[in-house]
Structure 1
């Protein structure tokens, strides 16, 4: 068991708290954190698993989510750092933890479409320091959506120059987590539904896909997971995503292409 008393684990989810709780429990399987917090609409949760604190919160929009992540977390952080996770991103390899991560004020998986050091990074699985949360209270750093771009692009220069905050180098961020870039080895965690086939045994993935709300599979993330499952020959799992998109009445080009690819793969046997 890895002890990380410097680290508070948190997730903010007011839509599907059961999925968020599952992600938190995956993180806790091999790690002891200072605290574990789920910010959620407590009316949607009958009981929290041991070790997880429920913090009442209602969020009406994704923009409100970003504002809370930027300005609302500070009162709850009593350790030096915060590990932010979402339902579709969690710790996968506790053994990949590097104490040097704590030398930085922000680490997130590198973005695939941003060059150089400023590609760090994705907020869905990210490490943030108390110093960062304090700096973000500055009225001269207005919140904007999405919150990870606000930190890492919009306000990065000022956070570095005025507050002396440190963003992890791209190579360290790639060791910390992956999102839409190919991991070169084990990482501490990941983000993205489209990566579930990389981190989850197929039977478990199929059980999850069979129980996920259809709406969770209608976007680009669901499409990309389905496309890779077809490519890998995992057709029964892919069919669950196609069926969910059909139940939603989706007739966009991506969905039709998935249906055609799945049918072709089944015909080829």
Structure 2
């Protein structure tokens, strides 16, 4: 049996108030082949039967996607006690632990590459100077200093104009909106040439033929990876049908 890779300075983390069971399964799946320094589920209530390998850390209920995005910028760092955090979601997690590269930790942020903005679009995936940002995506690795920076520096929560409307997404805020502030502090976002080996979300030309360490969402070749959300829904339906069947039988 192959020994687990040890990443003592990395915390595996997920923040969620929905799809909790699927999120836990995604975390456990991500731990195959890797011994993280810590693993923490940030949620509003400790799930029954939570694996002893995962620490519970409390946050107020995330009532919507806006709550999630805000907390990922201003609260995430307070739950992390290592130099880095590897963020997973129910729909994005580690699938090929054997493809880990130590260079992933050379940066303060790495996630799946973004596509080029549509032709003529001068706002999407761009920093304050209009430069196109090719790497972002929430399911990725962040340094502790990057996670702590927005709150410590008192940076206001502002939207990012993309695809013709205003968005309040934490990955766009970090990798585009305040990129210049991060870089002024010496922090670095991974280039596309490294990020394409970390994770895939969109099936852009630059990722073709590459098997990633992690993924986000089930587009294209990502469809081959486990879908714990669908599996959890099926389990709930089976339990409900079984319960209804038992009630009917007893009557």
TM range (shorter): 0.7 to 0.9
Which of the numbers 105, 111, 114 marks the counterpart of 2:114? Answer: 111
Q: Distance in 1 between matches of 2:228 and 2:53?
A: 25
Which of the numbers 150, 163, 178 marks the counterpart of 2:173? Answer: 150
| 2:151 alignment partner, SS class | coil
- The alignment status of 1:164 with 2:178, answered yes or no, reads no
| 2:11 alignment partner, SS class | strand
- The alignment status of 1:37 with 2:52, answered yes or no, reads no
TM-score (norm 1): 0.71
Which of the numbers 16, 21, 35 marks the counterpart of 1:18? Answer: 21
* 1:136 match: 150
Does structure 2 retain, via aligned residues, the 8 Å contact 1:197–1:205? no
Which of the numbers 39, 47, 50 marks the counterpart of 1:48? Answer: 50
Q: Distance in 2 between matches of 1:122 and 1:213?
A: 30
Which of the numbers 215, 234, 237 marks the counterpart of 1:190? Answer: 215
| Structure 1 residue 181 displacement after superposition | 2.3
Alignment map for 1:49-68 (pairs within 5 Å): 49-57=51-59, 58-68=61-71
Does structure 2 retain, via aligned residues, the 8 Å contact 1:117–1:170? no
Does structure 1 retain, via aligned residues, the 8 Å contact 2:19–2:229? no
Does structure 1 retain, via aligned residues, the 8 Å contact 2:113–2:135? yes
- The alignment status of 1:9 with 2:12, answered yes or no, reads yes
| Structure 1 residue 131 displacement after superposition | 1.4
Which of the numbers 199, 212, 234 marks the counterpart of 1:177? Answer: 199
Does structure 1 retain, via aligned residues, the 8 Å contact 2:30–2:93? yes
Q: Distance in 2 between matches of 1:207 and 1:131?
A: 35
Structure with the bigger RCO (C-alpha within 8 Å, sep 6+) is 2
Which of the numbers 137, 140, 164 marks the counterpart of 1:122? Answer: 137
| Structure 2, unpaired ranges of 5+ | 118-124, 126-130, 159-167, 238-251
| Structure 1 residue 199 displacement after superposition | 2.2
| Structure 1 residue 50 displacement after superposition | 2.5
| Structure 1, unpaired ranges of 5+ | 215-269
Pair 207,117 (structure 1): closer, same or farther in 2 beyond 3 Å: closer
Does structure 2 retain, via aligned residues, the 8 Å contact 1:66–1:143? no
* 1:211 match: 234
**1:109-159 CA distance string (max 9 Å, x none):** 011244786111111x21000110122224442234200000011100111
Number of residue equivalences: 208
